[in-house]
Amino acid sequence: MSIKTKLITAGLLGLLITVFPVSASTITYAGADLGVLPSSPSGPSSSAAAASFDAAASLLGNESIITFESAPVGGFSTLTVAPGVTVTGTNISGANQSINNTFDATFPSLDGYNTTASGANFVEEMGGTVTFNFATPTQFFGAYLSGVQNFVQDTYTFSDGTSQTINVPDAGTSPSVGELAFVGFTDAGKSISSVTINAGTSGFDDIGVDDVRYQSAASATPEPSSALSLLTGLVALPLWFRRRRAARARGSKLA
């Protein structure tokens, strides 16, 4: 499969949408918008990438979104953010990462911010790593990343049987202009137990992570009622065939 890249320029914003394969089954959806502010936390390119990802993910299972709105503000070493989903990680100094509900008012497009409509909370990743761990493996993962700059190459890393790395489009400029990006991937048929967002261990970015998409456990197995209905139908099928053959032998039709 060839790489498909679409570059859009609108006003002073540099907008980039990419859809490309990482491995045989992994497809990445990424879009970035420069200079997006916390007061209006969306952009055409990142929104388009999120919409494309959501459409692809819906074909694989039930998508759930983690907004962190019920998460306690402050540092964490291990935090449960959804049923069967925990977050761990350490920042550039080896200390805990944190849930935050404020942003840098001096440079508002930098350092991360909330992207949930009518929300406030987000993960503030001060370099280092943040890892999402899934009790029930997922086939897809996506998130909004805010305040992204170009001090380091931010990445997603995970294993789908082999080690995979996805680069975040680091279009933000170092001095004062950050980037809002959406980066997600689908990996059909794979079982992914964790995804790590890397923001640097020597040089580093200070970014926000919010509106995280993943495959919830509800779609991993059929609902009990659905499974029971299917089993009942399979058990009854041989009886239906026997009755139909008997009816044909008598020259009559089933009611």
Distance of CA 236 to CAs 226, 227, 252, Å? Answer: 15, 14, 21
pLDDT at 17: 62
Distance CA 39, CA 9 (A): 22
| Mean pLDDT, residues 145-173 taken together | 91
Rounded CA-CA distance 171/181 in Å is 9
Among 4-13, 192-201, 211-220, top mean pLDDT goes to 192-201
| Residue 249, φ and ψ in degrees, nearest 5 | -65, -30
Question: Hey, which residues does 193 pair with through a beta bridge?
Answer: none
Q: Give residue for tokens 């060839």.
A: 2
- Whole-model pTM: value is 0.79
Burial class (CB in 10 A: 0-12, 13-18, 19+), 201: middle
Which stretch of 53-62, 109-118, 126-135, 201-210 has the lowest confidence by average pLDDT? 201-210
Model confidence over 69-99: pLDDT tens digits? Answer: 999 999 999 999 999 999 999 999 999 999 9
How far is it, in rounded angstroms, from Cα 35 to Cα 20? 25
Q: For residue 192, what pLDDT is reported?
A: 98
Instruction: DSSP letter for 218, please.
Output: G
Residue with more model confidence, 241 or 96 = 96
Strand duo 192-198 + 155-159: pairing: antiparallel
Burial class (CB in 10 A: 0-12, 13-18, 19+), 156: buried
Q: Is the pLDDT of residue 16 over 80?
A: no
Average pLDDT over residues 24-53: 95
Please report the beta strands in the chain, taking only residues with DSSP state E, as ranges in sequence order: 4-10, 13-21, 26-34, 63-66, 74-76, 78-82, 85-90, 97-100, 122-126, 129-138, 140-148, 155-159, 163-167, 179-187, 192-198, 206-215
Of the listed ranges 62-76, 120-134, 152-166, 171-185, the least confidently predicted one is: 171-185
> Closest Cα partner for 91 from 131, 121, 122?
131
Please provide the DSSP assignment of 27-65 as one string.
EEEEEEEET--TTS---HHHHHHHHHHHHHHHTTS-EEE
Eight-state DSSP code of residue 133 = E
- The more confident residue out of 223 and 193 is 193
- At residue 253, does pLDDT exceed 60? no
Residue 246 φ then ψ, to 5°: -65, -40
Q: Is the pLDDT of residue 246 over 60?
A: no
Grade residue 18 by pLDDT with cuts at 50, 70 and 90.
low
pLDDT digits (tens, 9 = 90+) for 109-146: 888 999 999 999 999 999 999 999 999 999 999 999 99
CA gap 5, 30 in Å, rounded: 10
